[in-house]
């Protein structure tokens, strides 16, 4: 599979902040932005995977992205990392709200505590990261915020009530912030991944039968993986998409 995402000079030396950047789709984004010459900072809670990614990219390029351990459910801690990055590296001009958790859970067993915890992970951090970063982007003269939605919103899937509710709300968040921040030359868009096959998906939910069903729904008959997502995110982050805001871009192999 080719990882040729093109080259965007506007991303060189640009400070990029990625949530959940240590594994899965997020690790693919960290690699892609780092290889563009961006100054990448990512947060995650998986220290082993994140440190391994830092070392991998340091060996490959002679420089390393910055990793900060941060549970994004802790809004104060998340915003503190963002503020620290702005002071030490310069204003963040690209925010990628990637982190989420799509664990399955029966609607019959959901209680208020579980519901609130899922929203605190899958929705709330997107707004408060954008709120903190927006001030830095204003200082820099503009920027790009990319929120991750989900193809699941278009589907009738079971045991994903709280996750799909949060992901549906992402589209409203993007549209509202695009209006509020556009006057400051800050663009806000939603990236909608299809069924991206990661190690976690293969371990927990997707076997041969499930993957065959996925490809039957897709127009393109091949496995979608993290490197397929990164080129679209790079485009939305770069000045090549400077007239695009408030939009949804699907990378789903033609599912919808």
Q: Tens-digit pLDDT profile for the chain (256 aa)?
A: 345 668 999 999 999 999 999 999 999 999 999 999 999 999 999 999 999 999 999 999 999 999 999 999 999 999 999 999 999 999 999 999 999 987 777 888 889 998 899 999 999 999 999 999 999 999 999 999 999 999 888 877 777 888 899 999 999 999 999 999 999 999 999 999 987 776 766 665 567 777 777 778 888 998 888 899 999 999 999 999 999 999 999 998 888 5
Name the CATH superfamily housing domain 9-194+229-250: NAD(P)-binding Rossmann-like Domain (3.40.50.720)
Catalytic-role residue among 8, 67, 105, 163 = 163
Tokens 């997020």, residue located: 26
How many CB atoms neighbour CB 235 within 10 A? Answer: 19
Per the annotation, the verdict on 105 as an active-site residue is no
Helix (H) or strand (E) holding 236: helix 226-237
- Picking from 188, 196, 171, 194, the residue whose alpha carbon sits closest to that of residue 236 is 188
Residues in the chain: 256
Torsion angles phi and psi, residue 20, rounded to 5: 65, 40
Entry pTM: 0.93
Alpha carbon distances (Å) from 16 to 2, 67, 102, 135? 23, 12, 24, 15
């Amino acid at each position: 599979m080719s990882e040729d995402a093109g080259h965007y000079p506007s991303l060189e030396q640009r400070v990029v902040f990625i949530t959940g950047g240590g594994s899965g789709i997020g690790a693919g984004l960290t690699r892609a932005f780092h290889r563009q010459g961006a100054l990448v900072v990512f947060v995650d809670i998986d220290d082993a995977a994140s440190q391994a990614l830092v070392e991998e990219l340091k060996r490959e390029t002679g420089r390393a992205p910055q990793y900060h351990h941060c549970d994004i459910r802790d809004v104060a801690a998340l915003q503190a990392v963002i503020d620290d990055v702005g002071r030490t590296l310069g204003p963040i001009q690209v925010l990628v709200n990637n982190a989420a958790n799509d664990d399955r859970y029966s609607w019959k067993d959901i209680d208020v505590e579980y519901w609130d915890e899922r929203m605190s992970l899958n929705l709330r951090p997107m707004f408060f990261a954008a709120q903190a970063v927006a001030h830095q982007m204003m200082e820099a003269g503009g920027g790009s915020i990319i929120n991750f939605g989900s193809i699941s919103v278009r589907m009738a899937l079971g045991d994903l009530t709280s996750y799909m509710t949060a992901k549906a709300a992402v589209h409203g968040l993007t549209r509202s912030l695009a209006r509020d921040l556009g006057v400051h030359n800050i663009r806000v868009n939603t990236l909608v991944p299809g069924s991206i096959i990661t190690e976690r998906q293969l371990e927990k939910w997707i076997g041969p039968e499930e993957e065959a069903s996925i490809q039957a729904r897709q127009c393109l008959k091949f496995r979608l993986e993290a490197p397929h997502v990164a080129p679209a995110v790079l485009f939305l982050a770069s000045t090549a998409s400077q007239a695009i805001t408030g939009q949804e871009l699907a990378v789903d192999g033609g599912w919808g």
